[in-house]
Amino acid sequence: MTGSRTFTMIKPEAVAAGHAGKIIDMLIENGFRIKALKLTRLSRQEAGTFYEVHKERPFYGELVEYMASGPIIAAILEKSNAVEDFRKLIGATDPMEAAEGTIRKRFAESKAKNAVHGSDSDDNAGIEANFFFSGRERF
């Protein structure tokens, strides 16, 4: 079975807190298939490039520092309607506003340290996946 793809990161504070296994379990339980997966760390420069769309936002510097602060887990996920369904599973940006049963409700510390990233469009899912994974790392 094939579906569309999205890209996710388990962010530094969630990896450091030991939540990665539970988060990966949750996404598999919700029908997402892992197509690529790695533990890695962004340099400040790489984090700056990854989040370039947010360059004008007041929290950009903080976001870049945070995302470069420790190892993250990057993954490509497949499911029908992957981008939208994964955004639903992760919940609102701010965990105070995230619905019950979402990953951010369960694991996010704050609006800034919110446990996971999920692509916001098919185009960005492709761009973000290409940022982290070569062809031979995808299945």
Which residues of the chain form contacts with ligand GDP (CB under 6 A)?
Answer: 59, 62-63, 93, 111-112, 114, 117, 120
Nearest approach, Cβ of 7 to ligand GDP (angstroms)? 12
Q: Which is nearer to ligand GDP, 79 or 117 (CB)?
A: 117
Q: Under DSSP, is residue 22 helix (H, G, I), strand (E, B) or coil?
A: helix
What burial class does residue 71 get, using C-beta atoms within 10 Å of its C-beta: 0-12 exposed, 13-18 middle, 19+ buried?
middle
Q: Say if residues 110 and 96 touch (Cβ distance below 8 Å).
A: no
Catalytic annotation present for 19: no
Q: Which is nearer to ligand GDP, 58 or 135 (CB)?
A: 58
CB atoms within 10 A of CB 79: 21
Nearest approach, Cβ of 71 to ligand GDP (angstroms)? 16
Q: Which is nearer to ligand GDP, 33 or 87 (CB)?
A: 87
Nearest approach, Cβ of 62 to ligand GDP (angstroms)? 4
Q: Determine which one of 15, 102, 117, 128 is catalytic.
A: 117
